[in-house]
Structures are given as structure tokens and as C-alpha cells.
Structure 1
Amino acid sequence: MAAYRIFTDATADMPGFSTAGLPPVVTIPMQVEVNGQEFIYGPDGDLSVNMFYQMQRSGKFAHTTQVSPSVYFEYFTPYLCQGIDILYLCFSSGMSGTFQSANLCMEELKHEYPERTILCIDTLCASVGEGFLVWEAARKQAEGASLSELAAWVSEHRLQVCHWFTVDTFEHLRHGGRVSSAAAVMGTALQIKPLLYVDEQGCLQVKQKLRGRKKAIAEQLLHMEREWMPELGKQVFIGHGDDLQAAQQLREAVIARFPEAEIAIADIGPIIGAHTGPGMLALIYWGHGR
């Protein structure tokens, strides 16, 4: 069986310890612009999660861009030269053009390295949801799955990664065009906490508008109660946007209702945090579907 390496991008948020003991996953960095200043988030980048949220809390807004073809060539080529095949688990095409950009690059690389297998899969996931799927894929690789077997498994199960998000502020959703200015003003005044999810097309959608964080968390748990499939895996990821205390509270609430759940907490990085702002909470698990 030919050697292969799993790649992902900096959108995939995972707990820092989660890949310990698993085959290495290569993370491709991404560009983030904050208040007109450009940064790189990811390996060897110049933007940390703490630094990013400090800037957001000071009133600065962020924008993100898809990975450029030159970056893909820089990261993929050394492995192909060594005879290593590539499986790239990519940020959802429903939220970014990253998947299309990656495919254009890979088609060119397939002509240069016809003996190598180079696959790009649209995860239809984002942030800790993408990280969750990448982590599970690394586990499958550790168990001996071939590249083709793993690609088929990811394609079969990606829509069973359930994402439920609640945000603490409308400002960054408004700035990114996700909600109108009027809705943001009204929502802030009424202490509305939107509940969002990732749909079957990999797009971020508003599901409900709830009064207060407690109701939003209760609704996240209710969805998990209806959908969770522990037979696929008991691992649960909780993501937070610079609010560890809230993430720990959500963790305790999940444990109280689902004591068999194996929970890990991860930071929500700048790629999704640029659009959701500080205080975001995410609950990720295996479910029946979206």
C-alpha cells in the first residue's frame, strides 16, 4: 500500500492534543486581514488565536481569503517528490472558494506526477466540525485504512458531522453580511443569541433566534439528544471563541445528559472567528444527518 499523507487547511480547529499518537496531518496556513493588516494563521504563521480575539474585542473586524495556488504547490510538491500520495480534506465549498482553488492546483499536479494519487474532498464542514472529521480520518488512517478506503469513508460520513453554533454578538455576522444592520441592532437590544448550523450544502445557516445564552445552549443539547449516534463514535468536540469558561459550562451540561460522551475542547480560530466574533460556542458530534 502506497504511503499517503492527510492534508487540511487552517479552518480545521482541533484540540491541541487531539492528534497525539496519530499519523501526522499537514495543515495549510491561511491569510487573515484584520483592520487592513494582513496576517498568516496556521503553522509558522504570525497570528495566534489570543492575539486575534484581542483585536476583535478592541473593535477591529477581520476578513479571510482562500488559499492561493502557489501555497498549495509549496505544500504538496515536496511530498509528491518523495513518492507520497495526498488526501486533502478541504474547507466547505459552501463557505469558501478554497475547494475550487485546490482542485485547479491538483489537476495541474496530476499532470506533473501522473504516478501519484492526489485527492481533494470537500468536507462540507467548518471550524471544529472540519477538525472533528480530520481527526476521525487520522484515526482511520492509524487503523490501516488505505487512501481510497479513507476517501470513501469521508465521503460517506461527512454529512453525519453535526455542527451547532451559537454566537454572542451580531456585530461580526452583520459586518460579514450574514444579517442586516436592523436585525443586528434589534437582536443586540433583545439579547438574542442566534443558533446556527451547517447544512447539507456546507453553508452556515441561522436556525433559531433565542433569548439568552442558556436557552441557546439548551437548544444545542436538545438537537444532540435527537440526533446523536454514539455507535459511530462517542467523541464530541466543543469549540469556543475566546470563552473557555462558557465552553467548560457546555462540557458539564453535555456530560450531565450524555455521560458516555468523550469530550474535547478546542479554540475556534480566526478563519471562522472572523465571521462569528468572540463568545461563539460550537457543539460537534456524529449524528443521523443535518
Structure 2
Amino acid sequence: MIKIITDDGADLPLEIVKKYNIEIFPIAVIANDKEHFIGKNINSDEMYSNMRKGIVYRTSQVTRAYMLEKFESYLKEGLEIIYLSLSSGISGTYETALSVQVELLEKYPDGKLFIIDSKSATMGQGMITIRAAMLNEEGRTLEEIVKSLEDIVENQIHLFTVGDLEYLYRGGRLSKTSQIIGGLLNIMPILYIERDRGKIESIDKVRGLNAFLKKVSEWSNKLSKDGKFNPNQTIVLCHGDWEEVALKTKDFFVKDMGVKEENVIISNLGCVIGAHTGPEAITIFFSANPKEIPYLSISN
């Protein structure tokens, strides 16, 4: 049997977690030196409300001790394991998992433990995990699932922006000067998770939502295979507490980009990423080459 595991960075809805029996490793969200855990003593609505009141949040990573205990228990049961981590360019969780993998496979040389860097976050990471669970239900082998996931990671595109640069500044990801100037000019950065290292890069900047959506169109084409965005796929939008912008972005993909309305999914941006972006944030996930990725392809 195969055990599919991800972490709180994936923002998977509880009903999906239960449906596919996916295990979620916890990532602590910290405020005022107190650890909070999603589903136990914090939720995104509460966090965003507190952030608007000036409370600063940060995150840790899945602890090594927790991983070691969980992975070892499943190896003892004879399970094969796939763990899809939050992007290594965002968190140290992936590197920690690799060190645990080395230790455990020395102890259990016949065990199978695959660690996959999602090079992603929120529902980008979540959709990869769902694909893993679906393939597992189909009875695919461990190696077949891993190969499919690697193809998805290679082709997945992530664009996002924030409406208030203050939160990026608080998290140390932006200088005070840039934050002040950006705020005065209503600048929205266009950010991208590059696919080689999974790091966040700023690739453009605009003033206002309409300009942002126009640039999204340009970059969606630039980053797609053969320089042309394929509308025959599922688009996933995640927002913090910015539903109006999410709905406008969905409308844009339907009317201007040719995506079917039912194929644009809006989901919540959870605490792990939201702690760094703030409530005014939206992420866009799509595939550069959907024909090679079944979960993103839409049948005609």
C-alpha cells in the first residue's frame, strides 16, 4: 500500500483530505512567540483579521522529530510513502525530509520513501497531491505515480500578487523604501515561483488590478509551451481575504482567456502562505503544457 503525505502548505480542503486519506504534516504559524496549528487553534479568517490589526505572523517548518516518527511508523507497517513538500525555495521542510529519508533508508534498506519537492505552495501543491492520491486509487505503482508527479511539477506555473506591500515588508521580503514607494504608487508586483529552484521571483510590476490582469495574460503566454496559453485546462485561484479580486480574475480568465467558467476554481489561501502575503493576495495556478498532465486537462 502507498501512503500519500503533504503538509499544511498545500491548503487542501478537509473533505479532500478525508476522501483520499491524505496525511497532512503540521506547520506552525507563530504570533507573539506562541505556536498555532491549523485546524486546532487558528484559521485563516482569524489570522487575516488579526493581521489587519497589526499582529505579525511567521511560520516554522515541519519538525524533524515529527517526520522521523511518522515516516518510521509507516515503514514499519510495510507501507510505501510519497511525501510532497512545500517548495524548497520557500521552506526548509524539503531539506529536512531528505535528511530523514537518508537516515531511515539506512535503517530500513528495503523501505520505499520518496520525497518530492512540489516547487509550489497552497493549492498548486495541493493539486499535485490530489493527483498523487487519484493515481494511487487507480492502482498505479509507486514509480508510476512519482514519474507523473515529476512531470506535473515541471510544467506547473504559479503567478501571484499582493495588494498591500506592508506584509511582505514585515516578513523581511521587501525593503522599507520599496514598501513606501510601492504603497504610494499603488504598485502590484507580479511574482512567480521559478521552476528550477522553486524560489519566488519578481518578474514585473504594475499599477492597479486591470494592468495586473493584462500582464497575467502576457505572462501566461510567455510561460506556456510554444509561447501560447492553452485554455483547455483547470485554472486554480487562491485568495486570502480578497474575494472581489478573485472573482474579477476568474471573470478575466473566462471572458478574455477562453477558459470555461466551470474550469476556474476559487479556493482559500491558508495560514502558511497567508502569514507572509497578508489578506490581500491572489495566486494563479495553471499548466504550461496541460496535454501532458491529466488532472489539468479538460476533455472535449
Q: What is the TM-score normalised by the length of structure 1?
A: 0.89
Q: Does 1:266 align with 2:267?
A: yes
Q: Does 1:70 align with 2:65?
A: yes
1:205-220 matches, within 5 Å, as 205-220=201-216
1:1-290 matches, within 5 Å, as 3-15=1-13, 18=16, 21=19, 23-41=20-38, 44-200=39-195, 201-226=197-222, 227=224, 228-229=229-230, 234-256=233-255, 257-260=257-260, 262-288=263-289
Opposite residue 238 of structure 1, the aligned amino acid is L
Opposite residue 171 of structure 1, the aligned amino acid is E
Structure 2, unaligned runs of 5 or more: 291-300
Aligned length: 282
SS at match of 1:135: helix
SS at match of 2:172: coil
The answer (yes or no) to whether the contact 1:162–1:285 under 8 Å persists in 2 is: yes
Shift of residue 190, structure 1, vs aligned partner: 0.6
Opposite residue 39 of structure 1, the aligned amino acid is H
Opposite residue 258 of structure 2, the aligned amino acid is F
Larger CA deviation: 26-35 vs 135-144: 135-144
User: Whole-Å Cα distance in 2 between the matches of residues 32 and 127 of structure 1?
Assistant: 15
Runs of 4+ in 1 over 6 A off after TM superposition: none
User: Whole-Å Cα distance in 1 between the matches of residues 13 and 218 of structure 2?
Assistant: 24
Opposite residue 266 of structure 1, the aligned amino acid is S
Q: C-alpha deviations, 1:22-52, integer Å up to 9, x for none?
A: x3221111111123322123xx532111111
In the superposition, relative to structure 1, how do residues 20 and 236 fare at CA in structure 2: closer, same or farther (>3 Å)? farther
SS at match of 1:177: coil
Shift of residue 20, structure 1, vs aligned partner: 7.1
Q: Where is the helix percentage greater, Structure 1 or Structure 2?
A: 2
Opposite residue 6 of structure 1, the aligned amino acid is I
SS at match of 2:37: strand
The Cα RMSD (Å) is: 2.1
Q: Which residue matches 2:294?
A: none
Shift of residue 252, structure 1, vs aligned partner: 1.9
Opposite residue 205 of structure 2, the aligned amino acid is K
SS at match of 2:78: coil
Opposite residue 196 of structure 1, the aligned amino acid is L
User: Whole-Å Cα distance in 2 between the matches of residues 47 and 198 of structure 1?
Assistant: 27
User: Whole-Å Cα distance in 2 between the matches of residues 244 and 102 of structure 1?
Assistant: 35
The answer (yes or no) to whether the contact 1:239–1:282 under 8 Å persists in 2 is: yes
Structure 1, unaligned runs of 5 or more: none
Shift of residue 209, structure 1, vs aligned partner: 1.4
Opposite residue 22 of structure 2, the aligned amino acid is V
User: Whole-Å Cα distance in 2 between the matches of residues 281 and 73 of structure 1?
Assistant: 34
User: Whole-Å Cα distance in 2 between the matches of residues 229 and 202 of structure 1?
Assistant: 23
Opposite residue 124 of structure 1, the aligned amino acid is K
Shift of residue 281, structure 1, vs aligned partner: 0.7
Opposite residue 247 of structure 1, the aligned amino acid is A
Q: What is the TM-score normalised by the length of structure 2?
A: 0.86
Opposite residue 24 of structure 1, the aligned amino acid is N
User: Whole-Å Cα distance in 1 between the matches of residues 138 and 215 of structure 2?
Assistant: 35
Opposite residue 155 of structure 2, the aligned amino acid is Q
Opposite residue 123 of structure 1, the aligned amino acid is S
SS at match of 1:30: coil
The answer (yes or no) to whether the contact 1:16–1:266 under 8 Å persists in 2 is: no
SS at match of 1:11: helix
User: Whole-Å Cα distance in 1 between the matches of residues 231 and 101 of structure 2?
Assistant: 35
User: Whole-Å Cα distance in 1 between the matches of residues 152 and 230 of structure 2?
Assistant: 12
